[in-house]
Amino acid sequence: MKSSHTVLLDNGLKHPASGTRRATLTWLILLGLTTLSFRLSTAVSGSVLMFTVLGLTLIKGHLVTNEFMGLRHVRWVWRLVMAIYLLSVGSIIAFAYLSA
């Protein structure tokens, strides 16, 4: 376990600024996407709205898990598990809305 901490430490020390910049960028994108979803809710409706907002939400979810939760750095299995989760929740919702 110690070694993994060292890796993160090395990484952080090598490019202290780039990690921060990347996180800030992610944060700004998340804010932007949230605003976009919010604006869309009054602009469009129906399945167009559903698919766009759902798509935006999945992108946001991917950003949070990959960048914020740090899954970018871990074994691919965990990323796969999370991706499957997001995709299945998304597709179940889409399916339910279309079947209405």
Partner 1 sequence: MTPHINSDTDATQDLPGDLAIWIFIFAELVVFGIFFAAYAFARSTHVTLFNASQLTLNRDNGFANTLILVTSSYFVVRANQAIKAGHNKVCGHWLSGALGLGGGFLLLKLAEFHQDFVHGINLSTNLFYMFYLSLTFFHFMHVIMGMVILAVVAYKAYTGHYSAEHHTGVETGGSYWHMVDLVWIILFALVYVIH
Query: Which stretches of the chain bind partner 1, using CB under 8 A?
Result: 1-13, 16, 19-20, 23-24, 26-27, 30-31, 34-35, 37-38, 40-41, 45, 49-50, 53-54, 56-57, 60-61, 64-65, 67-76, 78, 81, 85, 88-89, 92-93, 95-97, 99-100
Report CA 61 to chain centroid distance, whole Å.
3
d(CA 41, CA 45): 7
Neighbouring C-beta atoms of residue 49, cutoff 10 Å = 16
Smallest distance from the beta carbon of 73 to partner 1, in angstroms?
A: 5
The nearest distance, CB 11 to partner 1, in angstroms, is 4
Tell whether the torsion through CA atoms of 13, 18, 21 and 23 is positive or negative.
negative
Considering the complex, what minimum distance in angstroms separates the CB of residue 95 from partner 1? 8
Q: Give the shortest CB-29-to-partner 1 separation in angstroms.
A: 10
Which distant-in-sequence residues (6+ apart) come within 8 Å of 32 by Cβ?
A: none
